[in-house]
Amino acid sequence: MNLTRRQLEAFLKLVDLGSFTLAAEALGVSQPTLSRTIQTIEEVVGASLFERDSRHIVLSPTGLGVCPIARRLLHEMDNAALELARVVRGQHGRLTVAALPSVAGVLLPPVIARFHMSHPDVDVFIDDGLSASVLSCVADGRADAGITVRPPPERRFRYRQVLTDRFCVLHRAGDPPAGEGTVGWPIFTTRPFIAMSPESSVRPMTDAAFLTAGLSVAPLYECGHLATGGGLVAAGLGLTALPELAIAALGNPSLAATRLEGPVLDRSIGVVTRAGRQPPAFLEAFLGVLQAEAGDILARFRTG
């Protein structure tokens, strides 16, 4: 059965007022127009909805059964219209964000919590993975935005920097690799080096740092996951170089970090979107919260 909103309103108005004359006036239509509307509804339903005499109209048995269903349908239509309006205004919908694991674990939880306070009807979904996976999600439309390292220049992507993530040497707490404050990259020539896999966003940067410093460092261990690298360091098997967000994601009290210099190595973390794609109306609000929170989160890590 295919009944329109106008037909449902006409039927219920006639039920409530019990008079074709009064219902037609309330609806702003002529009485013959209302009569034709009711006749059309009865043809769709396949039964009479009213029992008529010279003075009154009352619901037929079929009409009694149809009435609560019609009220429910009209209510659902009203709710759907409100939901559509909220989507258009950016107050309701779904936001999918692809992100590096360190970003997903450290930055996004407090950002989502704050965003949810102003946009309670927006569902946020996180797809965490390595940088190539993040870019793939954005490129094929599975994610509305990605949060990752700066990608190579490419027309299909737009990139907006959010923060700078400084590299540190990760070591066991109470076992500083060299004094206090900062340490140079040559430390990895005197202690075993634990490298991240070549597919990670970290490995190309540490390789470039060694090249800049004129060092030849062969990894003793190589791993694909942050937790594995942290576990190897905690077991005293060597040191590794990681950005601050990655170290914060480990959350291991048995580990500590000392900033690296000579060269100072930073990675740019930002938002990647697909050029030419219309973003959800609430994406800008989410990114505004991300921008506001990111600096404070890293500052808390550095002072903690």
Question: The tokens of 206 are what?
Answer: 């540490």
Q: How many CA atoms lie within 13 A of 281 on its CB side?
A: 13
Domain match, 242 and 170 both: yes
Domain match, 49 and 123 both: no
Among the three residues 23, 58, 88, which one is the final residue of a domain in this structure?
Answer: 88
List the CATH number of the domain containing 16.
Answer: 1.10.10.10
What are phi and psi for residue 194, nearest 5 degrees?
-105, 115
pLDDT tens digit sequence for 146-200? 999 999 888 889 999 999 989 999 999 888 775 567 899 999 999 999 999 998 8
Domain match, 172 and 255 both: yes
User: Tokens 């050029």 — which residue?
Assistant: 275
List the CATH number of the domain containing 257.
Answer: 3.40.190.10
Query: Which of helix, strand or coil describes residue 225?
Result: coil
- Residue 159's DSSP bridge partners are 272
Domain match, 39 and 133 both: no
What is the pLDDT, as a whole number, of residue 188? 93
Domain match, 298 and 233 both: no
Distances in whole angstroms, Cα of residue 275 to Cα of each of 147, 246, 271, 278: 15, 28, 12, 9
Instruction: Find out whether 262 and 213 touch, Cβ atoms under 8 Å.
Output: yes
What is the pLDDT, as a whole number, of residue 281? 77
Domain count along the chain: 3
pLDDT along the chain (304 residues), means of 10: 85 90 91 92 90 77 89 80 61 83 90 90 89 91 92 89 92 76 90 92 92 92 90 94 91 90 91 86 88 80 61
Burial of 153 (0-12, 13-18, 19+ CB in 10 A): exposed
Domain match, 152 and 289 both: yes
Domain match, 83 and 17 both: yes
What is the pLDDT, as a whole number, of residue 210? 94
Domain match, 65 and 203 both: no
What is the pLDDT, as a whole number, of residue 18? 87
For 188, the domain range is 165-267
What is the pLDDT, as a whole number, of residue 98? 95
Among the three residues 67, 88, 109, which one is the final residue of a domain in this structure?
Answer: 88
Q: What is the pTM of this model?
A: 0.67
- What is the rounded distance in angstroms from the CA atom of residue 192 to the CA atom of residue 229? 12
What is the number of helices (H) and of strands (E) in the chain? 11, 12
What is the pLDDT, as a whole number, of residue 161? 92
